[in-house]
């Protein structure tokens, strides 16, 4: 095994990432070392590198939370995985396992949770240190490059759709048809929902139609909330907002059917106004949803392993990361870029 690794590092917020060579980390007790095969590039990595959110990561750090690879070393006391297993190192890097939320199987909101590619170094590196109790177990038959987007974009949208409470035959509106949204459409279809896709890019909407969306709305044409209400006969039973854009949030609440649920997943920095009378009088639920638990992860991966959900990926080398970030920032990535480490 090499004793050096390449990684893309955020040294200063808002500046290009820097490719650097590091000594290979070595796993301590209850840690594992993963040799990265592939890592998806999520819009969250862009927020992280810009320092967009109130709780900022400590500099310097290695982003990436869709890293998939093979376990190459295990520290003392590791029994959950063994050398040679294919695992994913997700956003939910670890949690305490003992607080009220962990005990309720809501480890995603544990106050002591660590986040991959944010509070812990992530997958834009040839090797990743990971917590074996929180890695994703990649089913046999699912390649590393296709698994990568599932461990953030997939699990987040699958969980978010469940949180809408929409039932088979009902409508879901999916706002944002990028990395998250193109998988959301496929999960929603596999779960028996009717999909109305919303984006500001006609190319993304054409893709949504190819993926099975029954209706599409360009949010830049007129009033998208009114358009969705007309197309769905009164509003979508569930709304999932993945767009990293504040106007999409108020529009999403306006697309929600009476007694429906609008789930917020996109994380642009800032706030949005809630039209109070409409939300109260229509008994609308607005709720946040944050990635997914380990159990959601196993379910989300099973859809991909069965071929019911397939990420649309563009492979790039790690050296292209700054160009990929620029493109993602201007909406110029078709679905998901996956960094291919050529290792698997």
Among 43, 86, 101, 194, binds ligand NAD (CB under 6 A): 43
Q: CB of residue 198 vs ligand NAD: minimum separation in angstroms?
A: 5
Cα of first residue to Cα of last residue in the chain, in angstroms, is 15
Tokens of 80: 């959950």
d(CA 68, CA 116): 12
Residues contacting ligand NAD: total by CB under 6 A? 36
Among residues 258, 153, 255, the alpha carbon closest in space to that of 197 is found at 255
Q: Does 7 bind Zn ion (CB under 5 A)?
A: no
Q: Does 311 bind ligand NAD (CB under 6 A)?
A: no
Among 44, 145, 164, 232, binds ligand NAD (CB under 6 A): 44
- 185: CB partners within 8 A, 6+ apart: 174, 177, 195, 197, 208, 211, 212, 213
Helices 247-254 and 224-231: angle between axes, nearest 10 degrees: 30
Q: Residue 172 binds which entry of Zn ion, ligand NAD, none, with Cβ cut-offs from 5 to 8 Å by kind?
A: none
Among 68, 125, 180, 253, binds ligand NAD (CB under 6 A): 180
Q: Residue 96 binds which entry of ligand NAD, Zn ion, none, with Cβ cut-offs from 5 to 8 Å by kind?
A: Zn ion
DSSP 103: H
Give the helix ranges, DSSP H, for the chain. 43-50, 100-103, 144-147, 153-164, 179-190, 202-210, 224-231, 247-254, 276-281, 294-305, 321-329
Q: CB of residue 152 vs Zn ion: minimum separation in angstroms?
A: 3
Q: Does 194 bind ligand NAD (CB under 6 A)?
A: no
Q: Does 245 bind ligand NAD (CB under 6 A)?
A: yes
Residues in the chain: 344
Binders of Zn ion among 56-95, rule CB under 5 A?
95
Q: Does 131 bind ligand NAD (CB under 6 A)?
A: no
Q: Does 274 bind Zn ion (CB under 5 A)?
A: no
Binding site for ligand NAD (CB under 6 A): 42-44, 47, 152-153, 156, 175-181, 198-201, 204, 219, 242-245, 247-248, 265-268, 289-291, 328, 331, 333
């Amino acid at each position: 095994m090499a004793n050096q690794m390449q990684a893309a590092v955020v040294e200063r917020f808002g500046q290009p990432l820097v490719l650097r060579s590091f000594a290979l980390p070595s796993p301590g007790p209850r840690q594992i070392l993963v040799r990265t095969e592939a890592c998806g590039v999520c819009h969250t990595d862009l927020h992280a590198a810009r320092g967009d959110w109130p709780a900022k990561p400590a500099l310097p750090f290695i982003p990436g939370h869709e890293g998939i690879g093979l376990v190459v070393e295990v520290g003392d006391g590791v029994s959950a995985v063994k050398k040679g297993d294919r695992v994913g190192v997700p956003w939910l890097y670890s949690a305490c396992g003992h607080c009220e939320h962990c005990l309720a199987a809501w480890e995603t909101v544990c106050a002591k949770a660590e986040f991959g590619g944010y509070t812990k170094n992530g997958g834009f590196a040839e090797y990743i240190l990971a917590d074996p109790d929180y890695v994703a177990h990649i089913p046999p038959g699912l390649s590393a490059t296709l698994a990568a987007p599932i461990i953030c974009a997939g699990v987040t949208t699958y969980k978010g759709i469940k949180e809408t409470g929409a039932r088979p035959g009902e409508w879901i509106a999916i706002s944002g048809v990028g990395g998250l949204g193109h998988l959301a459409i496929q999960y929603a279809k596999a779960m028996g929902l009717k999909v109305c896709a919303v984006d500001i890019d006609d190319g993304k909407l054409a893709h949504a139609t190819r993926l099975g969306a029954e209706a599409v709305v360009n949010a830049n044409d007129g009033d998208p909330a009114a358009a969705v209400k007309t197309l769905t006969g009164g509003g979508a039973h569930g709304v999932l907002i993945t767009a990293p854009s504040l106007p999409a949030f108020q529009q999403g609440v306006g697309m929600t059917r009476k007694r429906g649920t609008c789930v917020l997943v996109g994380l642009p920095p800032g706030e949005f106004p809630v039209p109070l009378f409409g939300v109260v009088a229509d008994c609308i639920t607005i709720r946040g949803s944050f990635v997914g638990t380990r159990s959601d992860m196993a379910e989300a991966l099973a859809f991909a392993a069965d071929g019911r959900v397939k990420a649309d990926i563009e492979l790039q080398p790690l050296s292209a990361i700054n160009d990929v970030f620029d493109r993602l920032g201007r909406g110029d990535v078709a679905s998901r870029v996956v960094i291919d480490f050529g290792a698997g």
